Amino acid sequence: MTPLYLSRPGLICCAGADLDAFYDAACRGERGGVVPRVITAGGAERQFLVGRASPKADAGTRLLGLCASALETLRPAVRRAIGRWGAGRIGACVGSCDNGTEWSVPAHRAFFSGGGFPSDYSLDRQSAAPPAEFTAAFFGLRGPALAVSTACASSASALARAAELIRGGVCDAVIAGGADIASDTVLLGFSALEAVSDELTNPFSRNRKGINLGEGAAFFVLSKEALDTDAVTLSACGESADACHMTAPEPRGKGAAAAMNAALRSAALRPADIGYVNLHGTGTPLNDSAEAAAMAEVFGPEGVPASSTKPLTGHTLGAAGALELALCYAALTRPDAAIKLPLHRWDGIPDPALSAVAFVKGELFPSGKIRYCMSNSFAFGGCNVSIIIGREEPRANE
């Protein structure tokens, strides 16, 4: 399959406001950005651990401020894309889960307390569309603007849809990624599912108790030609839908393995070609069990260097796929002869019921041997996405 090209990403999360800061923090295993947050619901106070980001831009809402903060980094690449193909040939695909709680929650509080919605409130503010519409308007794009909301796989699904737009001849470049906030609604919703940990998340440990939520945004320019000298290719997007349960994964990891194998087949690669896997790794009992089984099925008993970076950022939901793919991008483009990969931060106590995973422990790896990385995103409803990116010789003709 003809490769597509990823620009250097723009991002923001509690672990860093640019790629280098985020990658360095991930390699050190820093998790100080996940902090307590107290909210009041039903007359009672609840404390959650949240990866709270700090938007550098004011765009009217916290969610759009995160988008603007991450998108600003892409401006030079977008300018080159517009100069090459025109704004009408450039689209936007943006994944998000929040879907307007910043607008809808205050409006519903007004309704329940006063019997009516505010005059400036409308139902379309609860749609998934605003981040995609904002992204297109931010750069003055005139191509398709698509909103993608596939729960925790949203921004990974957005990258897959962006690739389809280019390969289908609809666009020549697409701004692709995602953003999410840790709103009160999201925190209480995951708490109702008994998926939230009151301790720092501990993926794949025998002592794991669930997730910490986080917020952030991450975007790439995906294009049919390289726009800068850090030529990283989107080698393949593998997808599956196991539809086993509304929220739980297929317990044997069959859906997750199917997505990883689909990506490998599409990229014409062997498991041994993958140098690093960024795991979905939420720290919930069911997700970690299924993903460990899938990793063993795909990569065998020797495994591949892998880590979950959600202990460092919190689970950023719709932003997670793109944010974690950004770490894979950094691993492929670091100029050092030997590099560290993102650390797997946990208590080091394995669960004997899980298949073994080759977790990154902070060791050095020859950067020249890491040619391909995989990022996993597995969501509610059995929506599974695995993305492989690779390193090629620069082809930009600037």
**Which residues have a catalytic role annotated?**
152, 280, 315
Q: Helices 285-299 and 254-267 sit at what angle, rounded to 10 degrees?
A: 40
Q: How many CA atoms lie within 13 A of 277 on its CB side?
A: 28
| Residue 7 DSSP one-character state | P
Contacts 24+ apart (CB under 8 A), 77-84: 77/7, 77/8, 77/221, 77/227, 77/228, 78/139, 78/175, 78/221, 80/227, 80/228, 80/398, 81/172, 81/173, 81/221, 81/223, 81/227, 82/139, 82/140, 82/141, 84/172, 84/225, 84/227
* Nearest CA among 382, 398, 377, 38 for reference residue 218: 377
CA diameter of the chain: 65
Beta bridge partners of 211: 196
